[in-house]
Structure 1
Amino acid sequence: MHRAFKSEDIIYSVLKYLKRKDLKNVAMTCRDLSAPARNILWSKRTSMVSLITCLPQDAWELKDYTINLTREPTPSEWGLFQTNASRVRRLIVLNPDRCMPWQKRRIPKINVSGLLPRLLEQFPPATLFPNLCSFDSRALRESSSDLSLVRKFMSPRLEALIVHVSATVPPYEVEQFIGALAIEGHGLRQLSISMDDGEMAFAVLPNFEYLPKLIELAIHGVDVSLTRQTITNIQQLRCLKTLKLSLLGTCCDGGVVALELSSLESLSLSGVDSGLPQCTRFIRQITTRQLSHVAITYFQRASPIELFAFMESLSGLCQNHGSLKQIRVVDKTPRTLRPYYIDSLPVIPLCSDVFRPLLKFTGLLSVEFVDTGNFLLDDQFIHQITDTWPGIQKLGFESVLPSFINVTFNAMMSLATKCKLLRSLSITCEHSQPILIPQAEDGTERLWPAQTALRALNLEDTPLQEVGNLPYILGNVFPALNPARFESGRYVMIPDPIPSNPPIDVMAEIKRALWEMPDRVDYRVHPDSDDEYSEYSEDEDLYYLDYQYELESDSGSED
């Protein structure tokens, strides 16, 4: 073995890039690298299921998705259990909203009424998990709201804590837990607390004066009638970089002067009860020096006036307009995708003037508006985007609702080709007429200049009525465009040249033509690093694998 592998830092720097199956092989075949490989394999877990299944198979049984011990393990078997537990650094659960369908397979649940209390009584969490730095109470399954049990996992070494409290927990227990955070979790750098999945507000919040290391805070359940008090409390977090709040209630406790959160870089707000105006009122109560990310989610449809008011409020929020890099606004109003339901919704025309206040933020790299209304953009606004945000990387005006078509295909192409860093574009444009290839003065073809960054193009509500020149234009102008990520919400079936054949799907035909074009990136051979599916690491995939895989992977057994 190369002498470089005598350095532990080099070993971990190399092994952390291996896939799980390769790490398994290293752990089983190389004695010198076995321990580091197993440390990485065990570093991230979602429950204690895999710890139990590393015991001999005759020591436990699975029945009705519940694991129980069938006999008392021997001291050496318990030793293996403790060894593997000591390797766990993150006991967390992947956010279900970010899961892909194949990640949602059910894994067996621990019998909380018997096995879990017994294990944690025999092996206190502080000693069982000496290297634990991140803990999510959902890892305790049915006991996720047992705050007395959650407190056993808290220690000065814990850096990240996620707690989900059920509405059935008595208020005095919640207050006791909140009060204990300052003493038992003073080393926390990340804290997320949720009351009834964000549907209920916390009566009291921690005194953040005693959590000085906190850089990321998420509170799912903030009473807006206590807005001023809440912000004043959060101001004590001098190092806070990320703030995520779910706002509840309708009466906002406002003040005349905005309170400054000087270190804040990322702000996420969710308007649960009163929608977007709820978020706007909160934003008007704070100001920041270096905010770079804003994410807004609301659950009631917003009018153009309310959206414009929100855009205007960003000027007071961001003292430095050039610091804002990303904005994402999503309307999550419950709705069905059935066509007759969408057609019955009132039209919310969002013209370019609604979005023009954003043009003062010249440093924007990502702008997304999802299902916020019926977009009514024009060419002038598209050209302004090109001039104001030359470094834009992601631009999306996405909606399941019909859009008004005022943006021409030429304006869309001009935007996409002049913004050389643009990687993802979602917009509706005119395509009811055949697209003509631009001509030079001598009559020869003169396509738009090639843009090699664009990976994803969604033409949204653009009516694709023919194949025509579109594959030729897109394939040559955007050589890196991934055909699998070229989409449109409106396309037709056209007759096949051979009458006996079924009609042709325009979208499928365009994609087929793009796949077959030469001299283009073939994503069937070279995976698209920008694809949304690639953001889920193999470790995260493991979260939702069934226990059989964990047994077969051999990550839970030692020689």
Structure 2
Amino acid sequence: MHCSLCIPEIISLIFYETLNGAEQSLNHLNRDSAQTLAGLARTCKAFRDPALDLLWKSQCTVMNVLNCMPGDIWEVLDDTGAEEVRLKRPVLPSDWERPFIYSHRVRHFKYEFSYSYPDSAAFYETLRMCLPPEPLFPNIESLLWETSDAALFPHFRLFIGPRLTSLTVSTFQSASHLSLLPALATQCPLLREVCILTSDGLPGRCETVSFFVKQLTRLQSLEVPCLDAMALDHLAKLPVLDFVHLDDQTPLSPVLELAFQTEVPSSCTIDMLTLTVTDARAATEVLARLHASPIRSLVIQFPKNTSATAVREIYNGVAANCNLASLDTLSIALPPTGTTETAADPEQIALYAVPGTHLFPLFTLTTLTSVTLAGPVGLDLDDAAAAEIARAWPRITSLDLAGSAFLHVPPRTTLRALLTFAQLCPHLWRLSLPVNAHSVPKWRKAETAAEARPTQRPLDVAAYLSSIFPRLEWVSAGKEDPRDEPVRAEVLAGQRKWKAVEAALPVLRKVRAEEKYWTRREYEEEDLD
């Protein structure tokens, strides 16, 4: 055997690359890969530890470890139609010697109710009483615990170890569950990635989660329901944060705000901050606490009943508190799963439609390359507002101002606005904008409205779009939504026309390519002559 194969790190790399190429992921080994690693472990001493480390690296059940115990300890019963694991005799310390040879190799554990067998609270209670003082998986690095069974929740602590760096728990459903959080930071001082999901409305949720977060000094990724002012100040002092998501952020307590209004020195750079807020004030307050931390990507999701005035407050908060030189991606809209059920009568349209003038504070963010802005009934823009947007964000590559395709203020932007984007935003590759396409301007002379000609022909629209966007590949008018009964006929009629526009674009691209080819050939032949 070559001397390089006596180095465990090289062998591990060879095994990892071979199996990872075959399976794309080593989180769940298939039977063939597991048998291959088991065979390699029995081949020679040089192969044993690297092969066993990969074989045991990721687990989704404790039974693989427990099956290494003597066969007379556990029995599987099926008296009630569901398999249940029970003890046949008391467990002795010597019974754990062989299981711990392998459990020390486990680095990742994923519990999902759908396939993590066994799944009874009684079994885990028995296991907890039988375990020695040391953790079941002392070298575990990541734990994902996902189950809707609240009775199983307390037992996730069986898998906590001092080397844990990633923790995802989605079953905090009561005050007693939240009581486990304060001790976790002490038990797991190396935590870098944390995702804590809780039921809505738990008493003391924000305070308990904030206390937990304030003890974590190595955080790089955080997803929690909400935080108080002190926890936000703690985040601002961390060296770097790759991702922060506050799922149900409420306005900060006025008492805490008065007590902690001192300037917080910040060296933190946040790659992505996502806020799902209960009202506009919560978004502004969070950004104010983190104003000294450069944010590269900001996503704010607000409730569907947020008025245009409240949306303007969010825009003002973003412009006032975000670093003008760092923000690259901005999204301020409804959550993806939020449905726009606001009534479409004129009073509601006036209340929820966001006028173009509300966007003006955001124009100071000149480094933006990706922008998504939407309201419950969309943005009320005209060609002049569209031109201001194009001039403010010349680096833009993706711009989404569409909002809902089925419930929105009637569009006042025309096809002329698209020419403005074509002229002022050379890097733009994706544009979503409500457009009134009933008249098609002459694209070379589109300065005055008098030069536009009324049309209902999709081919004219396709020709205009192809002329200003020569490489345009597709257009879309949204999808049919069964909730949109009152305007479905009008929406479907518009969709059919835009489908015809989309169908014409490939033909126009082909004609354009042929013209360029023959023009090039003609010039080449003239040069030869």
**What is the TM-score with the length of structure 2 in the denominator?**
0.67
Q: Aligned-pair distance for 1:429?
A: 1.4
**Residues 109 and 141, structure 1, Cα contact 8 Å, conserved in 2:** no
- 1:227-242 correspondence to structure 2 within 5 Å: 227-235=228-236, 237-242=238-243
Distance 1:211 1:333, change over 3 A: closer
Match of 1:382 among 386, 395, 409: 386
**Contact kept in structure 2, 1:379 and 1:408, CA below 8 Å:** yes
SS of 2:249's partner is strand
Contact 2:139 2:162 (C-alpha < 8 Å) held by counterparts? no
1:115 to 116, 119, 123: 123
- Structure 1 residue 359: Cα displacement: 1.3
Q: Which residue of 2 aligns with 1:363?
A: 367
CA contact (8 A) 2:459 2:500 kept: no
Structure 1 contact 371–398 (Cα < 8 Å) conserved? no
Q: Is the 8 A contact 1:260 1:286 kept in 2?
A: no
Cα deviation for residue 492 of structure 1 reads 3.8
Q: Quick check: 1:132 aligned with 2:145?
A: no
1:126–1:152 CA contact under 8 A, matched in 2: no
Selected match of 2:314 from 305, 310, 325:
310
1:219 corresponds to which residue? 224
Which of structures 1 and 2 has the larger relative contact order (alpha carbons within 8 angstroms, sep 6+)?
1
Q: Contact 2:412 / 2:435 at 8 angstroms: preserved in 1?
A: yes
1:324-354 Cα offsets, whole Å, 9 max, x none, are: 112222335997567x955588112212211
2:518 aligned residue: none
Q: Is the aligned partner of 1:154 residue 2:160?
A: yes
Task: Letter of the 2:61 partner, please give it.
Answer: M
Corresponding position of 1:429: 435
Structure-2 residue corresponding to 1:193: 196
Deviation digits for residues 242-274 of structure 1, max 9, x if unmatched?
4333323675343455545430413332323xx
Mark the CA change 1:471 to 1:53 in structure 2 (over 3 Å): closer, same or farther. Answer: farther
- Decide whether aligned partners of structure 1 residues 368 and 493 sit closer, same or farther in structure 2, where only a CA change above 3 A counts: closer
Does the CA contact (< 8 Å) of 1:383 and 1:415 recur in 2?
Answer: yes
The verdict on how the C-alpha distance between 1:43 and 1:178 changes in structure 2, with shifts beyond 3 A counting, is same
Q: Following the alignment from structure 1 to structure 2, what is the Cα–Cα distance between the partners of residues 179 and 367?
A: 38
Equivalent pairs counted in the alignment come to 460
Change (3 A) 1:86 1:420: farther
Secondary structure at the counterpart of residue 163 of structure 2: coil
Distance in 1 of aligned mates of 2:124 and 2:215: 31
Q: CA deviation at 1:184?
A: 0.6
**Unmatched 5+ residue regions in structure 1?**
73-77, 95-104, 442-463, 495-503, 521-559
Q: Which runs of 5+ in 2 are unaligned?
A: 42-46, 69-74, 89-95, 447-454, 481-489, 512-529
Offset, 1:190:
1.9
Matches for 1:30-429 after TM superposition, within 5 Å: 47-48=60-61, 68-69=84-85, 89-92=107-110, 110-119=118-127, 128-138=136-146, 141-143=149-151, 145-146=153-154, 149-164=155-170, 166-170=172-176, 174-175=178-179, 177-197=180-200, 200=203, 201-204=205-208, 205-206=210-211, 210-222=215-227, 227-235=228-236, 237-245=238-246, 246-248=248-250, 252-253=254-255, 254-255=257-258, 259-265=264-270, 266-272=272-278, 275-299=279-303, 301-318=305-322, 320-332=323-335, 341-342=343-344, 346-347=348-349, 348-400=352-404, 401-415=407-421, 419-429=425-435
Deviation at 1:414, TM superposition (A): 3.9
Cα–Cα, structure 1 residues 431 and 416, in superposed 2: closer, same or farther, change >3 Å?
same
Specify whether residues 158 and 65 from structure 1 end up closer, same or farther in structure 2 by C-alpha distance, changes over 3 A only.
Answer: farther
Residue 321 (structure 1) shift: 0.7
Deviation sequence 1:390-416 (CA, Å, 0-9, x none): 332322123223134222213224425
Distance 2:463 2:56 in 1: 50
Mapped partners of 2:192, 2:36: distance in 1 = 38
Map residues 450-469 of structure 1 onto 2, 5 A cutoff.
Answer: 466-469=457-460
Residues 459, 504 of structure 2: 8 Å contact kept:
no
2:497 to 497, 506, 530: 506
Q: In angstroms, what is the RMSD of aligned CA positions?
A: 5.1
Query: Does the 8 Å contact 1:325/1:366 carry over to 2?
Result: yes
Going from structure 1 to structure 2, the CA distance change for 1:142 and 1:53 (only over 3 Å counts) comes to: farther
Is residue 301–residue 333 contact of structure 1 (8 Å, CA) maintained in 2?
no
SS at match of 1:206: helix
CA deviation string 1:402-435 (max 9, x = no partner):
13422221322442575344343221112123x4
| Alignment check: 8 A CA contact 2:287 2:321 kept | yes
1:390 maps to amino acid: P
1:267 maps to a residue whose letter is L
CA distance in 2, matches of 1:191, 1:408: 47
